[in-house]
Amino acid sequence: MKKFVTSVIAFSLLLVAYYGVNIMVNSHLNSKQVKVGDSKIIAVGDSHIMTAVDPQFSMDLINIAQSSEPYLASYLKIKKILESQSEVETVVLGLGYHNLSGYYDQKLLTNESTAIFDNNIQLLGTYELSNQSYDFERYVNSFLKNQCIYPQLKKRYLGAYKATRSDLAKADLSQTVKKHFYEEEQIHDFSDTFNLFYLGQIVNLCSDYNINLVLAKTPTTKKYMSQVPIVYRGKLQAVVANFKKKGVYTFALEIEDKEVYFKDHSHLSAQGAQVFTPKLLDYIARLK
C-alpha cells in the first residue's frame, strides 16, 4: 500500500508540475496579451465594431473588438488595460440594438456559448466570480482546458480589426433579425443579467479613470433598421439618454445604403469601415 500511495503521490506531483508550468507560462502570456502599446484610443465591442473601426487611419487607434464579445468581456479587458497603463484617453464601445437583447446573456449562460465563455472566463477576477451566478464547475473546466494543457500562444483576449468583403446579396436578413431580437417567435426580453449590467460597469470604470467613453452605433442597412422591434429602439434611446447624463459621448452614423459598404445587413465591409472610421476619429478629435 505504501508503495502504491507513494507512486500515486509522485504521479500527482508530476501532473501538478506539468500543469503548474503551463499555468505560469499562460499567465505570463495573458498579461502580455492584454496590452495595447501606446494607443490613446481603443475600440472595444463585438463583431460590429471589429469590422467597422479600421486602425490604419490613426497611429493612436487600436481595435481590440472580438466576434460575439459580451460586455462582461469588454469590461474585463478595459479594466485590465486601464490598470496596466495610462496612455489610453478614449474608449470607443460598440452599442447597437442587439447589445440590449437577452440573447447576449443567453450566450454566456448556456452551453452554446462555450467558445466565447472559454475565451473570456479566465479574465474573471474572484470578485466577479463570487458576485455572479457562474457555474463554478464550468469555470474550473474552462480553466483546466485553457490554462493547463499547453501554452496559449494565440492572442485570445485582444481582438483585432477584420477587413471583410461585401456579401450583402447573400446575407440572410430574417435569420439575423431572428437571432438578435426573437426567441421562439416572441420578441426577446432585454438583457437583465449581464450585458446591460456590465455596460453600466464600463461607464463607471471609464468615469473612475477619467477616460472619455464613446458609445458608437455602427451603420446598418435600412432594411435591417426597419425590422428592429420598436421596443428595442425605445430602449436604446432610454439607455443612451441615461448614460449621457453621466458624461458619456455617443456617436451614430448613417451611411448610404450601398451594397459595397456592407458585409451583411448589420456589419460594415472594409469599404464601409473606410467611411465610418474617419468620421469617428473626427468626432473624437472634437472632444479634446
Partner 1 sequence: MLFQSYEFLFFFPTVFILFWVLNKGSLSARNLFLLGASYFFYGYWDYRFLALILASSFVDYTVGLLLYKSVQQNRRKWLLFFSIAFNLGVLGYCKYLNFFIENFAGMLSSIGIVQDISTLSIILPVGISFYTFQTMSYTIDVYRKSINAEKNIITFLTFVSFFPQLVAGPIERASNLLHQFNRKSKFNMDLGADGLRQILYGLFKKIVIADNCAVYANQAFADYHELSSPYIILGAVFFAFQIYGDFSGYSDIARGVAKLLGFDLMKNFNFPYFSKSIGEFWHRWHISLSTWFRDYVYIPLGGSRGKRSVTVRNVFIIFVVSGFWHGANWTFIVWGVVHALLFVPSIFREKKDKISPIEVSLSSRVLDFGKILYTFSLVCITWVFFRADSIEHSLSYLAGIFHLEHIPYNGYYLKFVPVLGLFIIWEWFNRHTEYGFGVLPKHKMVRWCLYICVICIIIYFRREDNAFIYFQF
Does 144 help bind partner 1 (rule: CB under 8 A)? yes
| Contact residue for partner 1 among 28, 35, 145, 279 (CB under 8 A) | 145
Q: Does 13 bind partner 1 (CB under 8 A)?
A: no
Q: Which residue of 67, 141, 152, 193 would you call a contact of partner 1, by CB under 8 A?
A: 141
Rule CB under 8 A: choose which of 9, 24, 129, 149 binds partner 1. Answer: 149
CB of 67 to partner 1, least distance (A): 15
| Amino acid type, 158 | L
Is 254 a binding residue for partner 1 by CB under 8 A? The answer is no
Residue 115: CB minimum distance to partner 1, A: 10
Strand bridging mode 182-183 / 186-187: antiparallel
- By CB under 8 A, is residue 1 in contact with partner 1? yes
As measured in angstroms, the least distance from the Cβ of 34 to partner 1 is 24
* Closer to partner 1 by Cβ: residue 15 or 241: 15
Closer CB to partner 1, residue 22 or residue 132?
A: 22
Q: Shortest gap between Cβ of 77 and partner 1 (angstroms)?
A: 25
Question: Is position 15 an interface residue for partner 1 (rule: CB under 8 A)?
Answer: yes
By CB under 8 A, name the one of 9, 18, 31, 160 that touches partner 1. 18
| Of the residues 32, 37, 86, 111, which one makes contact with partner 1 according to CB under 8 A | 111
Residue 160 sits in the site that holds partner 1 (CB under 8 A): no
Here the cell at position 272 is 464601409
Contact window for partner 1 (CB under 8 A) among 51-59, 71-79, 134-142, 222-230:
134-142
Three-state secondary structure of the chain: CHHHHHHHHHHHHHHHHHHHHHHHHHHHHHHHHCCCCCCCEEEECCHHHHCCCCHHHCCCEEECCCCCCCHHHHHHHHHHHHHHCCCCCEEEEECCHHHHEHHHHHHHHCHHHHHHHHHHHCCCCHHHHHHCCCCHHHHHHHHHHHHHCCCCCCCCCCCCCCCCCCCHHHCCHHHHHHHHHEECCEECCECCCCHHHHHHHHHHHHHHCCCEEEEEECCCCHHHHHHCCHHHHHHHHHHHHHHHCCCCEEEECCCCCCHHHECCCCCECHHHHHHHHHHHHHHHHHHC
Instruction: Catalog residues that contact partner 1 under the rule CB under 8 A.
Output: 1, 3-4, 7-8, 11, 14-15, 18, 111, 114, 137-138, 140-141, 144-145, 148-150
